[in-house]
Amino acid sequence: MTFSEVTKTFATSLPGTDSYVKLRKAMRALIQEDPKNASVYFLIFGFARTYVMLYEDQEVSPQFAEDNQKLMLSYLNILDEALKKQDEKCIYQALNKVVNEYENSKKVF
């Protein structure tokens, strides 16, 4: 499994907590398989974990779920592009970009 494969799977999954559970599990596996890039996987793991903790027992509107899936997908795409380059500086910059975008968002997860 690669980060790109996980990103594609998440992009085609139904919006909702089940997708985040699968994303979280995939990130945990990638941390073990690719420890060099563990910080990337851990960041997404944390986002997915928080989403599940906040919303698994709550009813959310379809629009809310779709909007947040798009937001997560934007983060995944930023990081995926950086990982494809296999350049540590690029990966570090992508991590900073995601963190800064998250900090300027509504922080729903």
Please tell me the predicted confidence (pLDDT) of residue 4: 98
Please tell me the predicted confidence (pLDDT) of residue 76: 98
Q: Per-residue pLDDT tens for 13-57?
A: 999 999 999 999 999 999 999 999 999 999 999 999 999 999 999
Tokens of 24: 């979280």
> Is-contact 27 38, C-beta < 8 A?
no
Confidence of residue 11 (pLDDT cuts 50, 70, 90): very high
Tokens of 99: 């963190």
Q: Where are the alpha helices (DSSP H) in 1-109?
A: 3-12, 17-33, 38-55, 62-85, 88-103
Sign of the alpha-carbon torsion through 51, 3, 74, 61: negative
Please tell me the predicted confidence (pLDDT) of residue 100: 97
Please tell me the predicted confidence (pLDDT) of residue 81: 98
The structure's pTM equals 0.96
Structural domain boundaries in the chain: 1-102
Please tell me the predicted confidence (pLDDT) of residue 67: 96
Please tell me the predicted confidence (pLDDT) of residue 52: 97
b/e 75-86 (16+ beta carbons within 10 angstroms → b): bbebbbebbeee
